[in-house]
Amino acid sequence: MIPVKGFEGATVAVLGLGRSGLSAARALREGGAEVLVWDDNPTARERAEDEGFTARQLTRPEAFEDVASLIVSPGIPHLYPKPNPAVAAALEAGVPVDNDIGLFFRSLGGEGWDDLDSPPKVIAVTGSNGKSTTSALIHHILTEAGRDSQLAGNIGRGVLDIDPPGDGGAVVLELSSYQTDLARALTPDIAVFTNLSPDHLGRHGGLGGYYAAKRRLFAEGGPDRAIIGVDEYEGMSLAGQLAEGRADDRVIRIAVGRKLSGPGWYVFARKGFLAEWRKGRQMSAIDLREVRGLPGAHNHQNACAAYAVARTLGIGPREIERALHTFEGLPHRSQIVGEKGGVTFVNDSKATNVDAALKALMAFPKIRWICGGLQKEGGLEGLAEGLDHVSKAYVIGREAEGFALQLKGIEAEACTTMEQAVARAASEAEPGEVVLLAPAAASFDQYDSFEKRGEDFVARVQAALGR
- The binding site for ATP comprises 127-133
- Find, among 297, 386, 293, 300, the residue nearest to 331 by Cα: 293
Give the annotated binding-site residues: 127-133
Contact 120, 113 (CB under 8 A): yes
Comparing CA positions, the residue from 158, 35, 31, 167 lying closest to residue 106 is: 31
**Amino acid letter at 280?**
G
Angle at 114 between CA 225 and CA 165, to 5 degrees: 65
Q: Please confirm whether the linkage preceding 81 is cis (ω < 30° from 0).
A: yes
Contact between 26 and 1 under an 8 Å Cβ cutoff? The reply is yes
Name 209's bridge partners: none
CB < 8 Å & 24+ apart, contacts of 32-41 = 32/3, 32/7, 32/8, 33/4, 33/7, 33/8, 33/9, 34/9, 34/10, 35/11, 36/11, 36/12, 36/67, 37/13, 38/13, 38/14, 38/86, 39/15, 41/17
The H-or-E segment that residue 357 falls in is: helix 354-362
8, 102, 145, 248, 253 from 30: Cα distances, Å: 9, 16, 33, 42, 40
- DSSP-assigned letter for residue 407: -
Q: Roughly what angle, to the nearest 10 degrees, separates helices 317-325 and 131-144?
A: 110
Strands 265-270 and 273-278: antiparallel
CA 405 to chain centre: 31
Angle at 443 between CA 441 and CA 448, to 5 degrees: 160
**Cα 409 to Cα 100: distance, rounded to the nearest angstrom:** 47
The count of C-alpha atoms lying within 13 angstroms of the C-alpha of 394, restricted to the half-sphere facing its C-beta, is: 23
**Nearest Cα to 67, choosing from 57, 76, 75?**
57
The CA distance from 399 to 151, in Å, is 37
